[in-house]
Structure 1
Amino acid sequence: MSFALRAICLVILLGGLLPVALAQSAPEAVLVPVADESESARDRALGEAMNVMLVRLTGDAAVTGTDLAERLRASAERYLVGFSYRAADEDAGMRLAVRFDETRLRGALGEAAVAIWPAPPPTVVVWLAVEQAGERFLVDGEQGAALRERLRAAAASSGLSLLFPLMDLRDRRDLGYADVAGGFADPVRAASARYAGEAVLAGRLRISDDGAVAARWLLLPGAGEPVNRWQAEAGGTGPALASAVGVLAERLRPVYAYVPDPEAGRRVALTVAGVESLADHRRLQGYLEGLTGVERVVTTAVSGTQVRMQLAVSVDEARILEALARDERLGEADDGYRWR
């Protein structure tokens, strides 16, 4: 056994099989307008920030109109981690940056039987085809970059994480403008496999000279789920992308959102070979922690280059196994998986 793997074993033994938990980073701030620094203005802004946070956790804009949301707004300070005032430009005005205790809010939603996104939330691979001013292109880091960032921001407000392809030689070889614009599911699904997202969204935006948008969307929600298609029109790219995110969240919620059950204690056991160094172990652990629905990763044993791990999950085991099967970094082995 290498020195690095002995170090892994030593950590496990000294910690009494100490759970290797997800890193607890500071909760992401919610930014909302605030009139001034008075207490009354701050209280109103805290209520609005609570609305933003509830939509982010649930993906459901209608949650803000419920009795539960009203109670949570009224008691927003109970869930408050901290806040600060931020100056903005003259048009935007002052902003209040609010940080809530996400774990407590998730617990409150679970007690009220409100479905929430798993942590981390579903990752959606996005392909965008754009037709504008006589030009047709697939959005990448240069062409259509502003559209990409606007869509990413809209998705974040609904608690969704977007992953845009690299658009390197491999992507351009595997998928063309016509595949995305035409909504052909098979080539879109095949080209997306390298990114291991939970779902795939492909859209075609036809932008007129006056800014009006005619959009066509294809959603592949996940293995075994039916293909979704829809069309929409809007007066501009902002409304068109916001509308698409609304439909996206609505159609992914039945697949991925869940009502937390603290008594469920779901666990998934994995055996992974090919872990030859401490660096390999860290990369594997980080990968597993990043899977949607994985709340904690525990290394339970190390034997040679083989590692046994236990995952505490908030989604069905089948969802985790599907994600593992899609990722190129793991290959199936006789007794589990092999890290590549």
Structure 2
Amino acid sequence: MFKSLIYVFYAALLVISVNFVSATESLQLDQSAVKVDDRTTQTKNNALKQAFKNVLVKNSGSQNAFSVPSIAAATNKPTAFIRQYGYQEVDGQLYLNASFDHQKVIKLLRDEQLPVWGKQRPLTLFWLSQETEGERVVVSDESMIETRSHIGDLASERGVPVLLPIMDLDDSMLVSVTDIRGMFADQVAAASARYSTDYFIMVSIDTTADNQVTYSMALYPSVSSEPLFNPLVQRSGTALDANAVIDEIFDVMSEYFVSRYAVADSGESLVTQLTFTDITERKQLVAIEQYLAQLSAVKYVSLIQLRGVSAEFSVQLFGTKEDLYRLLKLESKIKQQPVSVPASQGKGDPLVSSQSETINYIWLGH
């Protein structure tokens, strides 16, 4: 429950590659832990309301859901959605842990045609430059600074998977405080490649002589075919303290990721087909169908053709085909396999043809 979404990496001597755990497997989208002072009925009821709000934010990606009257009303009746709750004490702090019915939560959002942010979420590498004990440092996963803990808490609370760099010799040789403060994206992108994340973010936090906290941030894709001149999102401003900066950063990241990966019901019921190859066992077909069915972009899925080692599935969508393809690119359980096929052109002239590309998929899950 309290495992941070920031993963700890251990670098062995002379070992270049680093193995990472899938961020999506650690998401607990239907659970929330809320700090409480006691176990009284009033405290419990307030904590359950807050836990339910946290779960709604995790699954919608935004506080905007609470502006919808039916959603706001539902937050006052969390017991209608709850599965179980209990208490746990961690380092002297009492928590109320609550889990909610996933299907009911999603139905509540779908009924109001709100976007749903599913389990397929991008992983972001978090490069943070901050002053600590009079020295500017790049915050690593093993840093003892309070900001690092706050990043972990927010990652879990908001359902936004992030990594902090390990800052071993390789990282230190490529990235410095100056690179992050100067927003030198190409340099940081080169260091980010080893982590195989979907995005990286650079955040610089400074405290002025009059104790004002200022920050700047820029979000970039980890893989880009062009020079990184323009960030996907860029912000700067002031805040009360470093933790307040991190709060704002997570709001910015969530807003962008929801715009790309959360899917609302378009009402059009679009249908597309997906082909999986190298099918050798019947249980693979079952696993693929179950996997596709849980995607936030998918309304209904069925196997429509099995030919040799290839299987074709019909997929009815909540949104667009592009919504589906963006989610599939985030998934480690499948592998894309581009296939070039002849495409006749020139009004049927068989001598005038070119190669068009289609995508098949290989199932890597278990």
Tell whether 2:241 aligns with 1:236: yes
The match for 2:108 is 108
Structure 1 distance, partners of 2:118, 2:257, is: 12
Alignment partners' CA distance in 2, 1:311 and 1:129: 47
Which blocks of at least 5 consecutive residues in structure 1 are unaligned?
A: 1-21, 276-280
Q: Aligned AA for 2:79?
A: E
**Distance verdict in 2 for CA 1:297–1:150, change over 3 Å:** farther
Question: What is the TM-score with the length of structure 2 in the denominator?
Answer: 0.63
Partner amino acid, structure 1, of 2:140 = D
Residues 217-275 of structure 1: CA distance to partner in whole angstroms, max 9, x if unpaired? 011268699532111222322112112212222233222222157955666434479x9
Kindly provide the amino acid, as one letter, of the partner of residue 187 in structure 2: P
**Structure 1: distance between partners of 2:275 and 2:132:** 50
In structure 2, what is the Cα distance between the partners aligned to 1:257 and 1:178?
35
Counterpart mapping for 1:3-42 below 5 A: 29-34=31-36, 37=39, 39-42=41-44
Distance 1:25 1:227 in 2: 24
User: Equivalent residue for 1:319?
Assistant: 326
Amino acid corresponding to residue 195 of structure 2 in structure 1: Y
In the alignment, structure 2 segments of 5+ residues that lack a partner are: 1-23, 341-359
- Cα 1:45–1:333 change in 2 (3 A) is closer
- Asked if 2 retains the 8 angstrom alpha-carbon contact of 1:123 and 1:197, the reply is yes
The normalised TM-score by structure 1 is: 0.68
Q: Which residue of 2 aligns with 1:246?
A: 251
CA deviation after TM superposition for structure 1 residue 211, in Å: 6.4
Structure-2 separation of matches of 1:104 and 1:56 = 14
What do you get for the CA RMSD once the two structures are aligned? 4.6
Name the counterpart of 1:155. Answer: 155
Match of 2:179 in 1: 179
Identity %: 21
Q: Residue 128 of structure 2 corresponds to which residue in structure 1?
A: 128
- Given the alignment of the two structures, is residue 269 of structure 1 paired with residue 275 of structure 2, yes or no? yes
Aligned residue identity for 1:31: A
* 8 Å Cα contact 1:297-1:309 kept in structure 2: no
Q: SS state of the match for residue 118, structure 1?
A: coil
Give how far 1:188 is off. Answer: 3.0
Please give the alpha-carbon distance, in whole angstroms, between the structure 1 residues aligned to 2:133 and 2:96: 40
Q: Match of 2:75, SS? A: helix
Decide whether the 8 Å contact of 1:126 with 1:202 is kept in 2: yes
3-state SS in 2 of match to 1:77:
helix
**Structure with the greater relative contact order (CA < 8 A, sep ≥ 6): 1 or 2?**
1
Counterpart position of 1:8: none
For residue 88 of structure 1, report the CA deviation from its aligned partner: 6.4
In structure 2, what is the equivalent of residue 69 of structure 1? 71
Equivalences, count: 302
State the alpha-carbon separation in 2 of the partners of residues 176 and 332 from structure 1. Answer: 38
Is the 2:131–2:206 Cα contact (8 Å) retained in structure 1?
A: yes
**Structure 1's 176 and 270: CA in aligned 2 closer, same or farther, altered over 3 A?**
farther
Deviations 1:48-98 (A, max 9, x none): 2221211222221233343122221243222111011335677x5x53211
Does the 8 Å CA contact 1:129/1:204 hold for their aligned counterparts? yes
Amino acid at match of 1:248: M
Whole-Å Cα distance in 2 between the matches of residues 211 and 87 of structure 1? 35
Where in structure 2 are the equivalents of 1:190-339 lying within 5 Å?
190-207=190-207, 212-220=212-220, 227-260=232-265, 263=269, 268-271=274-277, 316-320=323-327, 322-323=329-330
- 1:142 match: 142
Q: 1:183 to 1:272 in 2, by over 3 A?
A: farther
